[in-house]
Amino acid sequence: MPFVDIHSHILPGFDDGARDDREFLEMVDRALAGGTVRIAATPHCDLEDPLPRLEYIPAEVDRCRGFLRLQGRELDLVPGVEVRVNAGLYRWVKEGGDIERLTLAGNGRYLLADLPLADLPAATADILFLLQLRGLVPILAHPERNRHLASHPERVREMVERGIIIQVNSGSLEGIYGKAARRAAFALLGEGLARLVASDAHDPAGRSPDLSAAHGIIVRRLGEEAARLLLGHNPAAVLAGEDPVALPAAPPRRARRLLPRSR
Ligand SMILES: [Fe+2]
């Protein structure tokens, strides 16, 4: 099954992801080796920064697509951005900023949003709601890595009930962010709250875009169909501007087994 990845820092020289074209190509090769056929380049964007550099992303993606053609790599690269939920985003939307530019593949619908890792700013719900009022569907990136949400899954459930889509990081399932994030990630999948798994890749090795290990873990814990939805069908739907499918909650006994055994 080909994978589609909606979250990566693969665009060279933009943020703390790929440093240059050589590292970009190494990440591309890792993505392809892991079975990914389409990937969104989603550099960090903080709209409180006076120079968010948003306008350069589409041109850089076009350049990288040409580079991939020259190099004979068949990975479909599309533009995107990972937007920090803060007052800058609120102002951007309120003051009539180009919101399509903030959406995945420029589809005008899905916005990949991220929160600080430590806490949940009080205005988060209001900002996400404002995005929805403007016709956007926020996708919350890796809530399992946010310390508040990881220990308060009921807050994630509230968001899902309000139409927010949840994306879990492949690395969280592999345990690269620690036990708490891994436990929270499995809980989100087990309860049917997450519809997407993505790499959030930053480099070719440690936080790589290779989704095959996460695929194996999901198949073992939740089955083939869940893996197909989380890594293939749903991310492809999102990039096409269509609805991702909700996964059923795992039956209780199986859900319990989703929690890693303590050693
Ligand atoms: Fe990210």
Average pLDDT rounded to a whole number, residues 10-29: 96
Q: Find the 196 Cα to ligand 1 centroid distance in Å.
A: 14
Q: Find the 68 Cα to ligand 1 centroid distance in Å.
A: 22
Q: Find the 8 Cα to ligand 1 centroid distance in Å.
A: 6
Lowest mean pLDDT across 60-64, 209-213, 252-256: 252-256
Q: Find the 14 Cα to ligand 1 centroid distance in Å.
A: 12
Q: Find the 179 Cα to ligand 1 centroid distance in Å.
A: 19
Q: Find the 236 Cα to ligand 1 centroid distance in Å.
A: 18
CATH topology (fold) of 3-258: TIM Barrel (3.20.20)
- Residue 253 in this model has a pLDDT that exceeds 80: no
**In this structure, what are the phi and psi dihedrals at residue 137, rounded to the nearest 5 degrees?**
-110, 110
What letter represents residue 231's amino acid?
L
**For 126-170, how does the pLDDT look when each residue is reduced to its tens digit (9 = 90+)?**
999 999 999 999 999 999 999 999 888 899 999 999 999 999 999
Which helix (H) or strand (E) element contains residue 131?
A: helix 124-133
List, as own/partner pairs, every contact residues 147-155 make where C-beta atoms lie below 8 angstroms and the sequence separation is at least 24, other chains included.
147/117, 147/118, 147/119, 147/180, 148/118, 148/119, 148/120, 149/115, 149/120, 149/184, 150/180, 150/181, 150/183, 150/184, 151/180, 151/184, 153/184, 153/187, 153/188, 153/191, 153/193, 155/120
d(CA 215, CA 197): 9
Q: Find the 91 Cα to ligand 1 centroid distance in Å.
A: 22
Q: Find the 41 Cα to ligand 1 centroid distance in Å.
A: 10
Q: Find the 9 Cα to ligand 1 centroid distance in Å.
A: 6
pLDDT band at 252 (very low <50, low <70, confident <90, very high): low
d(CA 2, CA 211): 10
Identify the sign of the CA torsion 184, 185, 189, 193: positive
Q: Find the 168 Cα to ligand 1 centroid distance in Å.
A: 11
Q: Find the 96 Cα to ligand 1 centroid distance in Å.
A: 25
pLDDT above 70 covers a percentage of the chain that reads: 95
What is the per-residue pLDDT for 262? 47
pLDDT band at 256 (very low <50, low <70, confident <90, very high): low
Average pLDDT rounded to a whole number, residues 1-9: 96
Q: Find the 44 Cα to ligand 1 centroid distance in Å.
A: 7
Q: Find the 162 Cα to ligand 1 centroid distance in Å.
A: 23
DSSP state for residue 175 in the 8-state scheme: T
**For 182-240, how does the pLDDT look when each residue is reduced to its tens digit (9 = 90+)?**
999 999 999 999 999 999 999 999 999 999 999 999 999 999 999 999 999 999 999 99
**For 31-51, how does the pLDDT look when each residue is reduced to its tens digit (9 = 90+)?**
999 999 999 999 999 999 877
- Those residues whose C-beta lies under 8 Å from the C-beta of residue 243, and which sit 6 or more positions away, are 237
d(CA 111, CA 106): 9
Q: Find the 45 Cα to ligand 1 centroid distance in Å.
A: 10
Concatenated DSSP letters of 7-33: -B--STTSSSS--SHHHHHHHHHHHHH
Q: Find the 50 Cα to ligand 1 centroid distance in Å.
A: 20
